[in-house]
Structure 1
Amino acid sequence: GGHVVPWPWGTLGAREDLAMTQHPHSRALLLLGVLVLPCVVCWSPSRLSAGCEGRGRLVVSFDLDDTLWPIVPVVSAANKAVEEASGLRGALVQDEMKLVRRESHGGDPMSYTHLRKEALRRLLVAQGHPSSPGTIPHTAEDLFTTWLEERNSESEKLVYSDVVPCLASLADQGALIGAITNGRGDCSVIPSLAPFVQFQVSGEDPGVFPHRKPSPVIFHAAMEKAKALGWSGEPSEWWHVGDCMDNDVTAAQALGLRTVLLSRPGLDGENPFSTKPATAAPRRGGEIPRRDDDHDDDDDDGGGGGVAHRTRPDVRLLSLESLPGLVFDTQRIE
């Protein structure tokens, strides 16, 4: 016999009940544990983004250039590496890229990768492939690889100081972190970022190009990757962070995502590496125009398309320092 005490994982029989009778406070402690333990499990940091209601993982996606690192010194270093390897100055390559773009106007869209490779090929042909063993690559492919490797290497050196602490805090709290970029930045080969960024999509990717930001296609590609990693598909559980009003804020909000406009001080001005005609369209709501109408525009052929209207970001920040607290405080309140 013996009295039976209900328990979420079964029952307690006579022996356990006798022990509780001998210790009058045990029953109260046991019942308290039944009530409190599930809440403790649900509110542990690693499960915060999922919660007890069966919600999916909270997603925070980032633009890359001028969001996680400054693009102008990064591209300058990559151009310098090509010059040291081949003698082709960055300004010369840039002019040739503009020429290739003008000549291809009205034809099939040209990715920025193709644009740079074609410019390098034409310049190598024009100089007759001068060869100095060990110092000058023989093909445009070699030079492009040199450029791309230096681009990512310099990005690692110049990652803003608030980025890694922000990503680490988001990851510790269970967020799913991704990157959505029009350019060729690659978090998987940037050592300080690789441990945190779980998915990324580029406007240069097959299946995405030429649908760059602000096209919804690139965001939908990111959403498919996030769903495979635990995102519920609920737009309100996704925050997108970037420095461009059109490409990051308006485009993401059109899909129902939450947005953060990152306005780092000192980044206003024209992009010296753009291969497109300058435009007067302001990039940041009401601020001085910076670059042209496409973000990551050192890596852009302008295939993203326009946006219907401007809107206001959910949040505007000058740095990423407060982002993790803001994101998770908002989710808790809701």
Structure 2
Amino acid sequence: MTLEAAAPVAPAPLDVKRISAISLDLDDTLWPVWPAIERAERVLHAWLVKEAPKTAELLVTPGILRELREATAKERSDLAHDLSALRRESIRTALRRAGEDPALADPAFDAFFAQRQRVELYDDALPALKWLSERYPLVAISNGNADIHLTGVGRWFRTAFNARAFGSGKPHAPIFRAAAASVGLLPRDVLHVGDDAALDVVGALNAGMQAAWLVRDERPWEHDSRPQLIVPNLHALCVALEAG
């Protein structure tokens, strides 16, 4: 990986010498999430057309899927941290509303989930993961239901944390602290990198980590606390770390 690009502007001092590990968000950090979700939803609909045609017809109605998701999330607040369970239960609700077997929710979700893992990484992701993993232990922290092994990036990570398995997610401090502890470190020794200003950056800062905001488009920073680094891509992150 060539590191000739100029280092990005750092709005607050980044203490590179303090960094002994890096935690990374997954969706919209290593790959764009919506193409994967949209493809998985098309596969789910095709599965329903074959196995539960009344439900498939119901879900064609504009807005109905969002309505079902919102209703499920409201009724099952205990599943707020578990996107897989929420989606499975929204499918089950749709099956019931259409008068079809709610037990089909499990295989229907399986069809969705398999496709959801078929992500297309940003061009800078694999070179950066290789470069970073040769220098730091990497830990994944995600609120989503992507699996590092099924998506093909598992080889670069020491371990991974997601909100479903952990029981709570970002921006709450426990998942960040657990990620640091998993590689034998305190949060202050870890740099967290992610695209979401509130969930990733503010969450990591509040947990005691340094934070890098990965912003691939033009968005203003709208929070009081500020990241130690703002980068437009993962290549720039590597440049900044190399320069430090």
SS in 2 for 1:265: coil
Q: Distance in 2 between matches of 1:92 and 1:146?
A: 20
User: Match of 1:325?
Assistant: 239
Q: Distance in 2 between matches of 1:237 and 1:325?
A: 19
User: Match of 2:109?
Assistant: 144
Per-residue displacement from partner, 1:208-250 (whole Å, max 9, x unpaired)?
32x21110011122123222xxxxx244431110111221111
Q: In the TM superposition, what is the alpha-carbon distance from 1:126 to its structure 2 partner? A: 2.9
User: Match of 1:186?
Assistant: 147
Larger radius of gyration: 1
Per-residue displacement from partner, 1:124-157 (whole Å, max 9, x unpaired)?
2233338xxxxxx96111111111111111x1xx
How does the TM-score come out when normalised to structure 1? 0.59
Closer/same/farther in 2, CA of residues 103 and 57 from structure 1, 3 Å limit:
closer
User: Match of 1:123?
Assistant: 94
User: Match of 2:71?
Assistant: 99
1:245 aligns with 2:197: yes
Contact residue 143 and residue 163 of structure 2 kept, 8 A = yes
The letter of the residue matching 2:154 is A
Per-residue displacement from partner, 1:289-330 (whole Å, max 9, x unpaired)?
xxxxxxxxxxxxxxxxxxxx7311111011111222322442
Contact residue 250 and residue 310 of structure 1 kept, 8 A = no
Q: Distance in 2 between matches of 1:179 and 1:224?
A: 13
1:77 aligns with 2:39: yes
Among the aligned pairs, what percent are the same residue?
25
User: Match of 1:163?
Assistant: 125
The letter of the residue matching 2:84 is T
SS in 1 for 2:37: helix
Q: Distance in 1 between matches of 2:151 and 2:79?
A: 29
1:216 pairs with one of 166, 173, 179: 173
Contact residue 180 and residue 186 of structure 2 kept, 8 A = no
Contact residue 24 and residue 193 of structure 2 kept, 8 A = yes
1:264 aligns with 2:216: yes
User: Match of 1:225?
Assistant: 182
Per-residue displacement from partner, 1:35-59 (whole Å, max 9, x unpaired)?
xxxxxxxxxxxxxxxxxxxx99821
Closer/same/farther in 2, CA of residues 240 and 56 from structure 1, 3 Å limit:
closer
Closer/same/farther in 2, CA of residues 138 and 118 from structure 1, 3 Å limit:
closer
Q: Distance in 1 between matches of 2:132 and 2:174?
A: 26
Closer/same/farther in 2, CA of residues 56 and 240 from structure 1, 3 Å limit:
closer
How many residue pairs match? The answer is: 217
Structure 2, unaligned runs of 5 or more: 1-16, 50-55
Q: In the TM superposition, what is the alpha-carbon distance from 1:109 to its structure 2 partner? A: 4.7
* Structure showing greater relative contact order (alpha-carbon pairs closer than 8 Å, 6 or more residues apart): 2
Which range moves more in the overlay, 114-123 or 95-104? 95-104
Contact residue 177 and residue 186 of structure 2 kept, 8 A = no
SS in 2 for 1:139: helix
Q: Distance in 2 between matches of 1:92 and 1:234?
A: 45
The letter of the residue matching 1:322 is A
Q: In the TM superposition, what is the alpha-carbon distance from 1:256 to its structure 2 partner? A: 2.5
User: Match of 2:221?
Assistant: 285
SS in 1 for 2:141: strand
1:62 aligns with 2:24: yes
Contact residue 57 and residue 176 of structure 1 kept, 8 A = no
Contact residue 188 and residue 209 of structure 2 kept, 8 A = yes
The letter of the residue matching 1:124 is L
The letter of the residue matching 1:197 is F
Q: Distance in 2 between matches of 1:195 and 1:204?
A: 21
